[in-house]
Structure 1
Amino acid sequence: MTIEWDYIVVGAGSAGSAVAARLSESGHHRVLLLEAGPSDRNFWIRMPIGYGRTFYEPRVNWMYETEPVEGFAGRISYWPRGKVLGGSSSINAMVYSRGQKSDFDEWEAMGNPGWGWRDVLQTYRKLEDHDLGPSEWHGSGGPLHVTTIDRHAHSLSRLFIKAAQEAGLAFNPDLNGETIEGVGLYQITTRNGFRESAASAYLRKRRANLEIITNAQATRIIFEGKKAVGVAYQQRGTMHEARAQREVILSAGAIGSPHLLQLSGIGPAPLLKRHGIDVVSENDAVGRHLQDHLCYDFTYRSRAPSLNDVLRPWHGKLRVGLQYLLTRTGPLSMSLNQGGGYYRSHPLRTAPDIQLYFSPLTYEKAPPKTRALMSPDPFPGFCTSISPCKPKSAGHLEIRSSDWRAHPAIHPNYLSEPEDLATMVAGARFLRQLGDAPSFAQVIETELKPGKQAESAADFATDIRERAYSVFHPVGSCRMGPDPASAVVDPRLRVHGIEALRVIDASIFPTITSGNTNAPSIMVGEKGAELLLKEA
C-alpha cells in the first residue's frame, strides 16, 4: 500500500530529527520520518557513559569499516555510525562543539550565502537550551540541552587545564563562547543525567502529523523523470513505498545519503552503469570530498587516582551504579572526554588548527572489538590527545553493487596530504611538552604510548601512521556549493539537477568544521528546515 505525505525524511539522526520536528510543529504538513534502526528506548543509550557498550553493538550501530588506508600503513579504520532514533547522537561521546567563526565564513566565501557565522550563530542559539543561559553566544529554551560539567569533572581534568596553561595555553571558561581558543572543560549534550540525543531533544513531543517508522531501511528514491516523488523502503522483510507530495529529504548522514543517491541513479555515471543502475542524473561529486578528523593519543600510567580506580573494581562499579540510579550524577552521567580545547600549532596560524582532548581513564588492555569504559586498565591512568581541525586530505565512498544491503566502499585517504602528517607531528610534540609540564610531571609515573623512545619527527610520523584513528566525524560527501560540477546540493540544499529532493545532514559540509561535528550537524538540520518552511 502506498501512502502520501507532504515530506518524507530519510534518517532520524542528528539532522533528520531536527528537520522532521520543525516541519511538523506547525501542524500544517504531514511528515514521514524513516529510520533504519530501532527505537532509542535503550538503557545503554540513555545512560551517557553507555556509549562504551554501543560502540560495537550492531543493533544500533552500522559498524562501517573502511578499505585499507595507505597513510595508515595499510590499516582499516573502524567507523561507528548510529542506526537508531537519534542516529550518531545516540551513540557518540556527547561533546558539544559548534566549530569556529572562520569555518562558516569559509563556507559562505565558497558561494553559499546564508551559511556564514553571523547566520549560523543565530541558528545555534535557536536550538540551544544552554546551562549558561541566554547571551550573545548562547540560546535558552531551545530543544537541545547543553550541560556544563564544571562542578563534576574529575580532578585530573582540572590538572590537565593547569598543565596546559603551564605549556603556554590560555584558560577558556566557555569553549563555545566568543572564541574556541584555549583550554577548559567541554560542554556535553545531557539533560538531568540522561543523554540528550537529537531524538530525545526533538522527538519527545509526538504529533499526529508526524509518523515515525523505525526498522525501515530506505532502498531507493522513486523518481518521475527528474523529480523525486517518493521512497521505497524495507521493513521486516517486506518492501513498501511512500509518496511525497512536496519533497523527499535525505538525512541519512555522510555515508547513508550518498549511498542512497548512488543506488537511486544519482552519481558518477561510470560507477552506476558498472553496477547496472540506470542514470537519473550524472553527478561526479556524489560520494566525493569525504573528510574526517583523526586523533592521536599519549597514554600514561598515573601516580594519582583516575577513573580507572573507580570503574575497574566491582565495588567501584556498584557504588557509581547506585549513585547514577539514585541521583543521575557521577561518572556514569558524563562523557569521558572531559577536558580539552583548541590551539594554534604555529603563531602564524590565523585560527586554532589543533583540538585537544583529555580523558581521566585508559583502556589500553581492553579486549579486541570492545570499548571497555566500564572495565578500564588495572592501574590508574589517563590520556591526552590531539586532533587536527582542518585536514586537507579528502577521500570518497562508492557503492559496491546495486544491492542496498551491501555497505559502500569507503576510501578516507587519510594523511595523503603531507601537511596533515606535519600538523599531527607538531601536535605530538606538543603532547610531549604537555606531559613534561610541572603539574603533569608530578603525577605521571610512565608514558605508556608512544613511550620516551619516540623523539624525532620520523619517530612520531611512524607511530602516527600505526596508531592514529578516526574520531568519527565524516562529512562532505554530498558537498554544498553553487557549481553542479563540484557540488551535490546548492546553498538551499536542493540536489543539483533534480526537483523536490534535498540533502540535509553532515554530508553537505563544504569543508570540515573545527572540532566535533554533532552540533554542526544538528544546526544543519535546523537551518535546512528553515529553508524548507520559507518555501512551503
Structure 2
Amino acid sequence: MQTYDFIVVGSGSAGSVVAERLSANGRFSVLVLEAGGTDRRFFVQMPLGYGKTFFDPAVNWNYKAEPDPGLAGNADHWPRGKLLGGSSSINAMVWIRGQREDFDDWRDAGNPGWGFDDLLPVFKAIEDNEAGADAWRGRGGPLHVTDCSASVHPLTRRYLKAAQEAGLPFNPDFNGASQEGVGVYQISTKNGRRMSAARAFLRPAMKRGNVRVETGALATRILFEGRRAVGIEYEKNGRSQSVRAAREVIISGGSVNSPQLLQLSGIGPTDLLKSLGIEVLVGNDNVGANLQDHVGINYTFKGKEPTLNQLLRPWWGKLLVGAQYLLLRSGPLSLSMNNAGGFFRTDPALSRPNMQLYFQAFSTVIPKSGERPILTPDPWPGFSIGLSNCRPTSRGSIMIRSNNPRDYPKIVPNAFSTETDVAEMLTAVKFLRRIAAMPSMAEIIVEEVLPGPSITSDADLIQDFRKRSGTVYHPVSTCRMGPDPATSAVDPKLRVHGIDGLRVIDASIFPNNVSGNTNAASIMTGAKGADLVLADHA
C-alpha cells in the first residue's frame, strides 16, 4: 500500500488550496483524490459557459434534493462540481467574502482564531485584486479577482441608479469596509478565463514532485486503526484501491460529499448508521445535520431597450460574441451572468443587511432541455432582478440512503420552514418591485413577465416564491465547527471530534452561513485549515 504524508479527498474550492499549501515547503508528500476529471474544458474555462455545465454529468454531480414542502413540493436541482476545482469550476464566480459579523459570530461560538480580524489577512493573502491593494483588498496572491465595472451591460447602470432611487447607497466594493448598498460584482477570473481554485492553487502545485493527483478516484471509505484515520479506500476504473496517510487524512469533499464519506465510514448519527448496517465508530448526530443554504428568486421584466438577449440568441450574435471572446478574451462571454447586485435590510431596525440582490441583463423564461439557457436566452428584450436571503433560519440535512458510496445522499433543504424566513422574503420581493418601479427602471419596462402583475396579495406573493424559489448553490454547515461534540462535528482546528488524524476542511465546517456567495469563504477555509495542519506538523 502506497503511503503519503497527507491524503486530501476532493480537489474543490478548499481542497485545491489545502494541497497547494501542504506541499509548498517541499517537506511533505500529498495525494489528492478527485472523483471527477479534468477542468481543461472550453465551457469550464469560459466564464459564461457555466450554463453548459449546469446539467452536464461529465463535470457535475447533478444532485436532486427531496421534494420540499417549503418550495411547494418541488425537488430542487443541486449542481456540484465533479472535476478539478470542484464547484469553483462551475459556479457564477461572484467574489464575496461575507460580513465582519459573520466571522465574529463563528469566533464567539467558541472558535478562537476564526473572527474577522483573524481571517482578513488570510483573505488578502489569497487575492490578487485588480482594483489594487488597500486595507481590505489583497494584491499578489494566487487568485485573481477582476473589477468588472467598465465591462458591464449598459442596462446595469439603470439598475444601479434605480436602486439608489429606492434608497440604497452606491457601494464601490462589497469586500470593503461595509457590504450594504448596490454596486458591480467582482468576479474570480483572469484575462477572460475562469479563475477556479484548481487554476489558482492546484495546477501550480501539480508541477511539484511531491504532489500526486488521481482523477476518477471515488473515495468509498476512510480507513482506521482504532480511532485513528490512517488512509482511504477508493475506486478507480472499477477497481478498489487503498492508500495510507502517515500524518493525516483531510476530507474536502464539500457540504454534500464530506458528511456522506464520514457517515459511510462510521462517523455520524448512530441510529442511521446502524439501520444501514454500518459499524458505528463515533456516534455524532451533527454529521450531516444543520444544513444551511441561501434560497433565491428572480423577477423578470420585458424591456424597451436591447438586452443581452438580442446579442446572445441570434446566430450572428453568437458569432460576434464568440469571436470577441476567442480573439480578445472579452465581451459578455468573459463575465458572470450577475453583472451587479447589492445587499439590503428588510427591516431598518436590523443591524446589518440580510438580503442579497442580483442583476442580470438577460432573461431565460423559456426553458431549454438539457441545459441552463444562458447562451440561448428569450427572443425578446428581457432582464431579471433577483435576490436571496443571507442568513436563513431554516435548517435541513444531508444523510446517506445506504451503505453504497455510489448512491446519492438524501438532501432535505427544509427551505422556508420558519416564519422568519417567509416574512423576510415577502418584504424582500416587495422591495425588489420597488426598485423596478423607480424612474430609471420604470421608463424602460414594458411589463413584468414573472411573476406578473396579477400577483399582488401577500398570500399570492408567498405562494409564488415558494413555487419559483430555489437554492442559489451555497450549502454549508453539514460538518459544522465548534468546541462541543454535542453541537458540532469538528473542533476549532477542524479535527473530527473523537478521531485522531482526520480533519474536514471545506464549507461544511461553517458554524453558520456567510452573508453572500460562499466561494471566497470556502477558499479562505482551505488556506486557514492548511495553516492549522502545518502548525501541528512543524
The TM tier, using the shorter chain, reads over 0.9
Map 1:102-501 → 2, pairs under 5 A: 102-205=101-204, 206-501=207-502
- CA distance in structure 1 between the partners assigned to 2:434 and 2:282 by the alignment: 53
- 1:174 aligns to what SS in structure 2? coil
- CA distance in structure 2 between the partners assigned to 1:104 and 1:456 by the alignment: 37
- CA distance in structure 1 between the partners assigned to 2:264 and 2:356 by the alignment: 36
- CA distance in structure 2 between the partners assigned to 1:450 and 1:141 by the alignment: 45
- 1:304 aligns to what SS in structure 2? coil
Please tell me the root mean square deviation across aligned C-alpha atoms, in Å: 0.7
How far the C-alpha of 1:374 sits from its partner, in A, is 1.1
In the alignment, which residue of structure 2 is the partner of 1:19? 18
How far the C-alpha of 1:446 sits from its partner, in A, is 0.8
Question: Unpaired segments of 5 or more residues in structure 2?
Answer: none
How far the C-alpha of 1:72 sits from its partner, in A, is 1.0
Question: Unpaired segments of 5 or more residues in structure 1?
Answer: none
- 1:242 aligns to what SS in structure 2? strand
- CA distance in structure 1 between the partners assigned to 2:47 and 2:468 by the alignment: 26
- CA distance in structure 2 between the partners assigned to 1:369 and 1:203 by the alignment: 30
How far the C-alpha of 1:162 sits from its partner, in A, is 0.4
In the alignment, which residue of structure 2 is the partner of 1:31? 30
- CA distance in structure 2 between the partners assigned to 1:62 and 1:128 by the alignment: 28
- CA distance in structure 2 between the partners assigned to 1:340 and 1:301 by the alignment: 19
| Letter paired with 2:320 | R
Asked if the contact 1:72/1:465 (under 8 Å) is kept, the reply is yes
How far the C-alpha of 1:134 sits from its partner, in A, is 1.5
- CA distance in structure 2 between the partners assigned to 1:452 and 1:119 by the alignment: 48
| Letter paired with 1:215 | G
Percent identity, please. 54
- CA distance in structure 2 between the partners assigned to 1:367 and 1:150 by the alignment: 30
For this pair of structures, how many residues does the alignment match? 535
- 2:203 aligns to what SS in structure 1? coil
- CA distance in structure 2 between the partners assigned to 1:168 and 1:535 by the alignment: 50
- CA distance in structure 1 between the partners assigned to 2:433 and 2:331 by the alignment: 30
Asked if the contact 1:35/1:84 (under 8 Å) is kept, the reply is yes
| Letter paired with 1:287 | G
Listed one character per residue, the Cα deviations across residues 43-68 of structure 1 (whole Å, up to 9, x for unaligned) are: 11011111000000001000000111
- TM-score normalized by the length of structure 1: 0.99
- 1:159 aligns to what SS in structure 2? helix
Listed one character per residue, the Cα deviations across residues 70-91 of structure 1 (whole Å, up to 9, x for unaligned) are: 1111110110000000000000
Listed one character per residue, the Cα deviations across residues 163-218 of structure 1 (whole Å, up to 9, x for unaligned) are: 10011100001111111111000000001110000000002322100101111000
| Letter paired with 1:27 | G
Asked if the contact 2:106/2:115 (under 8 Å) is kept, the reply is yes
How far the C-alpha of 1:369 sits from its partner, in A, is 4.1
- CA distance in structure 2 between the partners assigned to 1:432 and 1:257 by the alignment: 39
Asked if the contact 1:300/1:445 (under 8 Å) is kept, the reply is yes
- 2:118 aligns to what SS in structure 1? helix
In the alignment, which residue of structure 1 is the partner of 2:3? 4
In the alignment, which residue of structure 1 is the partner of 2:518? 517
- CA distance in structure 2 between the partners assigned to 1:160 and 1:384 by the alignment: 9
How far the C-alpha of 1:366 sits from its partner, in A, is 2.0
- 1:373 aligns to what SS in structure 2? helix
- CA distance in structure 1 between the partners assigned to 2:242 and 2:59 by the alignment: 24
Listed one character per residue, the Cα deviations across residues 337-357 of structure 1 (whole Å, up to 9, x for unaligned) are: 011010111110011100000
| Letter paired with 2:309 | N
- CA distance in structure 2 between the partners assigned to 1:441 and 1:223 by the alignment: 63
Is 1:77–2:58 an aligned residue pair? no
Asked if the contact 1:36/1:214 (under 8 Å) is kept, the reply is yes
How far the C-alpha of 1:297 sits from its partner, in A, is 1.1
- CA distance in structure 2 between the partners assigned to 1:6 and 1:423 by the alignment: 48
Which has the larger displacement, 100-109 or 448-457?
448-457
- CA distance in structure 2 between the partners assigned to 1:220 and 1:125 by the alignment: 36
Listed one character per residue, the Cα deviations across residues 82-123 of structure 1 (whole Å, up to 9, x for unaligned) are: 000000000001000000001001101111111001011111
Listed one character per residue, the Cα deviations across residues 514-534 of structure 1 (whole Å, up to 9, x for unaligned) are: 010000000000000010111
How far the C-alpha of 1:454 sits from its partner, in A, is 1.4
Asked if the contact 1:366/1:375 (under 8 Å) is kept, the reply is no
Listed one character per residue, the Cα deviations across residues 114-139 of structure 1 (whole Å, up to 9, x for unaligned) are: 10010111110010000112111011
- CA distance in structure 2 between the partners assigned to 1:432 and 1:108 by the alignment: 37
Asked if the contact 2:53/2:371 (under 8 Å) is kept, the reply is no
